[in-house]
A and B are shown apart, each in its own frame.
Chain A
Amino acid sequence: MSAREKPGTAAPDPGMAIPKGRQMPKEERLTPPAWQGGRAVPPNGDAFRLIGQRSRKLEGLAKVTGRAIYADDILLPRMLHAKLLRSIHAHARIVSIDASAALAMPGVHAVITGKDLPEYFGIIPWTQDEQALCETKARYVGDAIAAVAADSERLAEEALRKIRVEYDVLQAITSIDEGLEHPAIQVNEKAAEGNISKHVHLEFGPVDELLAKSDAVVEAEYWYEGSTHGPIEPHCCVAEYDATGFLTVWSSTQVAHYLHRDLAKVLGLPTQRIRVIQPVVGGAFGGKSEPFSLEFCAAKLSMLTGRPVKILYTREEVFYAHRGRHPMRLRYRTGVMNDGSLTGTDAKIHIDGGAYSSFGLVTTYYSGQLLTAPYAMPGYRFDSTRVFTNKPCCGPKRGHGSVQPRFAFECQLDKLAEKIGMDPIALRRKNHIGEATRTVNGLRVTSNGFLQCLDAVEKASDWERRWRQLPYGRGLGVAGSMYISGTNYCIYPNEMPQSAVQLKLDRSGRATLFCGISDIGQGAESVLAMIVGEELGLGLRDIRVVAADTDLTPVDLGSYSSRETFMCGNAALDAARKLRDLIAETLSERWGVPKSDVVLAQGMAVAASDPKQHAMTVRDAFQAAEARHGTLGTVGWYQSPKLGGDYRGGTIGASPAYSFTAHVAEVECDPEMGWVTVKKIWVAHDCGRALSPVAVEGQMEGSAYMGFGEALMETHTFKPAAVGHGAGIHHGPSLLDYRMPTSMDTPELESIIIESVDPEGPYGAKEAGEGPLHPSIPAIANAIHDALGIRCDRLPFSPPAVLALLKAGDVRAAWEQSRRPRVAIGTPAGAPRPRVVKQ
């Protein structure tokens, strides 16, 4: 593996670079205890009791009976309601703000502006470029300028209308090219150069040489339209600053710990005077993974008024708060040999970042770093530039930064397969990177079930008999992907554990687990309970999880980068095994049997060698252990090993384990109208051991659905600057106009779980929440090609786009040409496929 930066790019990066010497973790990194037999084995040696069962979620009945408390369900005595005044211009200097008329209204208690909260914040410590309220300049339509606290929401809204803001309107930048062409019109003054938010150039292996000697090269440009998360719960928070000077913030966040830190920074309060609580969250998908204006404003207004303050975003505000999928323009050159082996890949990527940095530094790296598996790449180069524009800030949406390049690259593979006359599944098998290996950019791959994923979707979709053989208008397409199981390093550099739990055992026979874990609907808390129950012989009803409360729970970094099951799961396993050890030791002494003979399962503690003689309830076992060891409680934590390539940026994309996915999509197209109907998506996902199969399937189906929506229906777009008036206004910031798929639109989804037991995951588990989204879009694009002979390289694949492609040439003839005799049916899965010779 070699990594070299182009001459000239070793100089300080344009944009906000990581300070030198900070990007690599220290050598003396803590590593969690290694357990005998490893992490993957069941505690009682034989089989799992809870793990792998189709069980209910801990909070499931509370949710279905309407009892679960979300942020907007919190109503405190004397609570005020606040609203934010938002910029009507995409780019404008704020000359003056006059709030006197608003403040004079009866029932209005406070108005704040940028001067009241001048401190900059941002999720990435090196790119803190946001203020809770703009002090001097608004950078997108919807940028927050002032906040009003009043007796009611309606009154606060009326007061907003009385605030007079004098703007000096500036030329707006609404596209990547405008941003690059007009560096003097600077969107974000924190950028080191023009409108460059971040530039990354990395090269591994002799790319140009490999491309030159390839038998076939495909070069194409792709456009990935932006999309947004669209959780059904809008952002909401309640802040209460009490008489002792202590601030409590309930927020619909997925990163309570990071919010805690940024609240302290912006409000100037010590962190120990702040408590952040995450109530039940109504969906997030990455859209609640950083602080927003509402949390700072509600807190500040509570500090000023001495009363609790609630802010609930309107749906329109949620669209403008955004932080969703970045629009990307991706140009790829990919080479292949006639035997199907990939040679070099060269990518040039431009990213539309919106007005602020958000996670953009990571996005820019992810746009290249996460493409290097499941296929071996001898040579790989990417050059990614994130550009500031006067639009709502983009950020991490499910499959952060890598869904867009994955779309482009999997379409590239389909084109390459066609060029050399190879089945696209065979091409993917041929380049399988394997397990226990390293990628060209230095990522360590442990377990890998990608081949089994390919086999599963090939079989389930009856690919052999149907691909390239369905009638005109119908088609199948395949795509694969990989994703991280947690980012390897904390967002702010430190050597403390990434996840931690405290586990308390009660004499009643009940366990309580305290953890900063953020359950956003994926079932993260239930997975922890399953792990604890498996180790201690408890049922799920006897375990309580107290989560995401910075006063009560040890730190977990939050629900992002698909880290919760892997990292918190390992922490819970650590704590539960320590506790189990104390109980086993007690019983082994009492019964005179070896510790390994003690079994805790299904509410009972028994000696496996003589269960008739030696048996008691786990409650009695807990009490015996308490009498022997004192009050029972343990801590557990997880810290990933030092990982990543040894070059600048080499840690970004590093993860302790990777998940793998393959999809086959089936489409039915109407060539007259351009309509594409996705009939079915087969989703095979390698999530390591599936701790909770119901939850895993839910993530697979939800991911495939979301990718489907991005492929065909959803566009998060804005009026361009060229129109003059109204530049930067969202084309449809409502759930009617922004077309999220309904129950009528969504295709049939079939999930097939592939379990490659990972050596480092808790019981061998890996992620399932984001990986399965990636192949949806290219699988649909490739299926459209099989159906109609056209290549959809631009999202979304809407009827006008499909019609335009159909009219672009004699595509019907090309389609007829593509019908070929097939590989003999019955070739064993996994075996190298014979090449199909082009006729």
Chain B
Amino acid sequence: MEPSPSQICRLHVNGDERSCGVTPHTTLLEALRYELGLTGSKQGCDKGDCGACTVLVDGDPVLACITLALAAEGRDVRTVEGLAEGATPHPLQDALDRTGGAQCGFCTPGILMSAAALLEREPAPSREAIALALSGNLCRCTGYTKIFEAVELAARELRERGTRPKVAAR
């Protein structure tokens, strides 16, 4: 039988201090989705193949379905829910919506986090660099074309604003 939650896991998520009960094998994705109610991150394969669960840990994209919740303790976790600045969507979110880069929307949270990490490193990425950064995120709807356009659009907007997206820390 499954052990009852045996440990308290303290997570720093989207700027909030949250804690939940976990077992040693509870994944970060399970903790986020089912314990903390952050259902924006999706489970598409549960084995690290599809990228729908991508979140940022200390600014780097990681696959939350193959990361243990306890391994993320004390680190800065950012999910799709933490991307917007208050009620204003992040330029990447806005651009994906405008270009039609989110069809069914299921891969979108993961795509957004991978793209946000890219733009943090590289404010003016080439299309090749965007494709490489998103190569771990499978999208089955769009053929990626409109996603590339969205990332380019968001990068341009961020450059014009003269700010980089704040994804690593608030």
Residues of A with Cβ closer than 8 Å to B? 56-57, 59-61, 63-70, 72-73, 75, 105-107, 151-152, 154-155, 158, 229-234, 280-285, 312, 314-315, 520-523, 694-695, 697-698, 701-706, 734-736, 740, 742-744, 746, 748-749
B40 contacts A230, CB within 8 Å?
no
Chain B residues in 8 Å Cβ range of A107? 1-2
A698 contacts B142, CB within 8 Å?
yes
Q: B131-159 CB contact bits vs A (8 Å, 1 = yes)?
A: 11011111111111111100000000000
Kindly state whether residue B102 has any CB partner on chain A within 8 Å. Answer: yes
Chain A residues in 8 Å Cβ range of B112? 64
Least Cβ–Cβ distance between A469 and chain B, in angstroms: 28
B104 nearest in chain A by CB position: A521
B138 contacts A735, CB within 8 Å?
yes
A69 contacts B39, CB within 8 Å?
yes
Partner of A694, one of B39, B52, B81, B99: B99
A284 nearest in chain B by CB position: B104
A523 contacts B103, CB within 8 Å?
yes
B42 contacts A233, CB within 8 Å?
yes
A61 contacts B93, CB within 8 Å?
yes
Chain B residues in 8 Å Cβ range of A743? 130-132, 134-135, 137, 139, 144, 147-148
Chain A residues in 8 Å Cβ range of B100? 57, 523, 694-695, 697-698
Nearest 10 pairs between A and B by C-beta? A66-B40, A282-B106, A521-B104, A705-B143, A63-B105, A66-B80, A735-B49, A701-B143, A521-B103, A73-B39
Chain A residues in 8 Å Cβ range of B132? 743-744
B83 nearest in chain A by CB position: A65
Max chain A Cβ within 10 angstroms of own Cβ: one of B52, B94, B96, B140: B140
**Subset of 9 A-B contacts with CB under 8 Å:** A63-B102, A64-B89, A70-B39, A282-B105, A315-B49, A698-B146, A702-B103, A734-B47, A735-B138
CA separation between A282 and B41, bound complex, in Å? 13
Least Cβ–Cβ distance between A682 and chain B, in angstroms: 13
User: Apart from A234-B44, A521-B103, A698-B100, what 19 extra A-B contacts exist at CB < 8 Å?
Assistant: A56-B97, A66-B38, A66-B41, A67-B40, A107-B2, A230-B140, A232-B104, A232-B138, A283-B140, A315-B45, A315-B49, A701-B145, A703-B143, A705-B144, A734-B47, A734-B49, A743-B134, A743-B144, A746-B145
Query: Could you tell me which residues of chain B, from 43 to 73, have a CB within 8 Å of some CB in chain A?
Result: 43-47, 49-50, 52
A154 nearest in chain B by CB position: B2
CA separation between A704 and B146, bound complex, in Å? 13
B1 contacts A105, CB within 8 Å?
yes
Kindly state whether residue B109 has any CB partner on chain A within 8 Å. Answer: yes
- Tell me the interface secondary structure of chain A in the complex: loop
B104 contacts A520, CB within 8 Å?
yes
CA separation between A698 and B94, bound complex, in Å? 17
Chain B residues in 8 Å Cβ range of A106? 1
A72-B43 CB under 8 A given contacts A65-B80, A105-B1: yes
A282-B97 CB under 8 A given contacts A66-B80, A158-B2: no
Least Cβ–Cβ distance between B108 and chain A, in angstroms: 6
Least Cβ–Cβ distance between A424 and chain B, in angstroms: 25
CA separation between A64 and B140, bound complex, in Å? 16
A522 nearest in chain B by CB position: B103
CA separation between A749 and B109, bound complex, in Å? 23
Interface size on B, residues (CB 8 A): 58
A700 nearest in chain B by CB position: B143
Q: B1-41 CB contact bits vs A (8 Å, 1 = yes)?
A: 11000000000000000000000000000000110011111
A64 contacts B102, CB within 8 Å?
yes
A159 nearest in chain B by CB position: B1
CA separation between A704 and B145, bound complex, in Å? 11
Kindly state whether residue B84 has any CB partner on chain A within 8 Å. Answer: yes
Least Cβ–Cβ distance between B34 and chain A, in angstroms: 7
Least Cβ–Cβ distance between B79 and chain A, in angstroms: 7
CA separation between A749 and B127, bound complex, in Å? 13
A64 contacts B137, CB within 8 Å?
no
A66 contacts B109, CB within 8 Å?
yes
Chain A residues in 8 Å Cβ range of B137? 743
Partner of A60, one of B46, B83, B102: B102
Kindly state whether residue B117 has any CB partner on chain A within 8 Å. Answer: no
Least Cβ–Cβ distance between B53 and chain A, in angstroms: 11
B105 contacts A521, CB within 8 Å?
yes
Least Cβ–Cβ distance between B88 and chain A, in angstroms: 10
Chain A residues in 8 Å Cβ range of B84? 65
Chain A residues in 8 Å Cβ range of B140? 229-232, 283, 285, 702, 706, 740
A61-B89 CB under 8 A given contacts A232-B106, A520-B104, A694-B100: yes
Chain B residues in 8 Å Cβ range of A740? 138, 140
A56 contacts B98, CB within 8 Å?
yes
B50 contacts A701, CB within 8 Å?
no
CA separation between A286 and B94, bound complex, in Å? 29
A283-B89 CB under 8 A given contacts A70-B42, A231-B106: no
Kindly state whether residue B77 has any CB partner on chain A within 8 Å. Answer: no
A152 contacts B105, CB within 8 Å?
no
Chain A residues in 8 Å Cβ range of B105? 59, 63-64, 68, 280, 282, 521
Chain A residues in 8 Å Cβ range of B141? 283, 521, 698, 702
Chain B residues in 8 Å Cβ range of A312? 43
Least Cβ–Cβ distance between A74 and chain B, in angstroms: 9
CA separation between A167 and B51, bound complex, in Å? 38
Chain A residues in 8 Å Cβ range of B34? 75
A155 nearest in chain B by CB position: B2
Kindly state whether residue B167 has any CB partner on chain A within 8 Å. Answer: no
CA separation between A230 and B141, bound complex, in Å? 10
B34 nearest in chain A by CB position: A75
Least Cβ–Cβ distance between B72 and chain A, in angstroms: 18
CA separation between A34 and B77, bound complex, in Å? 58
Least Cβ–Cβ distance between A780 and chain B, in angstroms: 14
Chain A residues in 8 Å Cβ range of B83? 65
CA separation between A482 and B100, bound complex, in Å? 25
A734-B108 CB under 8 A given contacts A67-B40, A155-B1, A744-B131: no
Least Cβ–Cβ distance between A697 and chain B, in angstroms: 7
Partner of A70, one of B102, B106, B142: B106
